[in-house]
Structure 1
Amino acid sequence: MSKPSENKQGAVQTTGHAWDGDLQEYNNPLPRWWLWGFYATVVFAVVYWFLYPAWPIGGTFTKGFATVTYEVNGEERTTHWNTRALLMRDMQTSPAAVRQREFLEVIAEATYDDILRDPDKISFVRSYAHGVFGDFCATCHQAGGAGIIGLYPTLADDDWLWGGTVERIEESIREGRLGYMPPFRETFDAEQLRAVSAYVLDIAGYDGGDEDEIRRGEAIFNGTDGGCFQCHDTGGTGRISQGAPNLTNNIWQIVDVAGAASYEARLALVQSVVRNGVQREMPAFGERLSPTEIKVLAAYVHQLGGGQ
Structure 2
Amino acid sequence: MATPVKDPLTGAETTGHVWDETLQEFNNPLPRWWLWTFYGTILFTITYWIMYPSWPIGSSYLKGMFNDITYKTDAGEEKSTHWNMRALLAHDMQNSEEALKQQEYLAKVGAASYEQIAQDADMSSFVRSYGVGMFGDNCAACHQAGGQGVVGQFPNLVDDDWLWGGDTTAMETTIRGGRLGYMPAYNTTFDTTQMNQVANYVLTLSGEAPVDAAAAAEGQKIFQGETGGCYMCHTKEGKGMHAQGSANLTDKVWTIANVSAAETPEAKLDAVKAVITKGVKRQMPVFGKEGRNLSDTEIKVLVAYLQQMSAGAGAK
Which band: TM-score by shorter chain? 0.7 to 0.9
| 1:184–1:276 Cα contact (<8 Å) kept | yes
Aligned pairs for 1:229-244 (under 5 A) are 229-244=231-246
Q: Deviations over 1:75-134 (max 9, x none)?
A: 332222221111100001000000000110001100011112222111111111222222
Of 252, 271, 274, 1:272 maps to 274
Partner of 1:259: 261
Q: Measure the CA separation in 2 of the matches of 1:157 and 1:44.
A: 59
Matched, 1:137 2:139: yes
Please report the RMSD computed on the Cα atoms of aligned residues, expressed in angstroms: 3.1
The 3-state SS of whatever aligns with 1:230 is helix
Of 184, 197, 200, 1:198 maps to 200
Partner of 1:68: 69
Q: Measure the CA separation in 2 of the matches of 1:262 and 1:161.
A: 27
| 1:231–1:239 Cα contact (<8 Å) kept | yes
Q: Once the 2 structures are TM-superposed, how far is the Cα of residue 251 of structure 1 from its aligned partner? A: 1.4
Q: Measure the CA separation in 2 of the matches of 1:127 and 1:212.
A: 54
The 3-state SS of whatever aligns with 1:98 is helix
Q: Deviations over 1:176-206 (max 9, x none)?
A: 1111112222322211111110011112222
Q: Once the 2 structures are TM-superposed, how far is the Cα of residue 267 of structure 1 from its aligned partner? A: 0.9
The 3-state SS of whatever aligns with 2:256 is coil
Q: Measure the CA separation in 2 of the matches of 1:201 and 1:88.
A: 54
Long gaps (5+) in structure 2: 14-30
Of 297, 300, 307, 1:295 maps to 300
Q: Once the 2 structures are TM-superposed, how far is the Cα of residue 291 of structure 1 from its aligned partner? A: 0.7
Of 171, 180, 183, 1:181 maps to 183
The 3-state SS of whatever aligns with 2:79 is strand
The 3-state SS of whatever aligns with 2:282 is strand
Distance 1:75 1:176, change over 3 A: closer
What code does the residue aligned with 2:48 have? Y
The 3-state SS of whatever aligns with 2:227 is coil
Distance 1:19 1:156, change over 3 A: same
| 1:181–1:278 Cα contact (<8 Å) kept | yes
The 3-state SS of whatever aligns with 1:161 is coil
What code does the residue aligned with 1:97 have? A
| 2:257–2:271 Cα contact (<8 Å) kept | yes
Q: Measure the CA separation in 2 of the matches of 1:213 and 1:43.
A: 87
Question: TM-score normalized by structure 1?
Answer: 0.83
What code does the residue aligned with 2:71 have? Y
What code does the residue aligned with 1:70 have? Y
Long gaps (5+) in structure 1: 1-16
The 3-state SS of whatever aligns with 1:248 is coil
What code does the residue aligned with 1:292 have? T
Of 225, 231, 252, 2:227 maps to 225
Q: Measure the CA separation in 1 of the matches of 2:38 and 2:196.
A: 86
Q: Which runs of 4+ in 1 moved over 6 A?
A: 17-20, 22-25, 37-43
Partner of 2:111: 109
Q: Once the 2 structures are TM-superposed, how far is the Cα of residue 57 of structure 1 from its aligned partner? A: 5.7
Aligned pairs for 1:75-90 (under 5 A) are 75-90=77-92
The 3-state SS of whatever aligns with 1:70 is strand
Aligned pairs for 1:153-192 (under 5 A) are 153-192=155-194
Distance 1:42 1:193, change over 3 A: closer
How high is the sequence identity, in percent, across the aligned residues? 47
The 3-state SS of whatever aligns with 2:146 is helix
Partner of 1:123: 125
Q: Once the 2 structures are TM-superposed, how far is the Cα of residue 74 of structure 1 from its aligned partner? A: 3.4
| 50-59 or 178-187, larger mean C-alpha shift | 50-59
| 201-210 or 95-104, larger mean C-alpha shift | 201-210
Partner of 1:12: none
Q: Once the 2 structures are TM-superposed, how far is the Cα of residue 46 of structure 1 from its aligned partner? A: 4.4
What code does the residue aligned with 1:90 have? D
Q: Once the 2 structures are TM-superposed, how far is the Cα of residue 224 of structure 1 from its aligned partner? A: 2.3
The 3-state SS of whatever aligns with 2:243 is helix
Tell me how many residue pairs correspond in the alignment.
Answer: 291
| 221-230 or 291-300, larger mean C-alpha shift | 221-230
What code does the residue aligned with 2:63 have? K
Distance 1:278 1:41, change over 3 A: closer
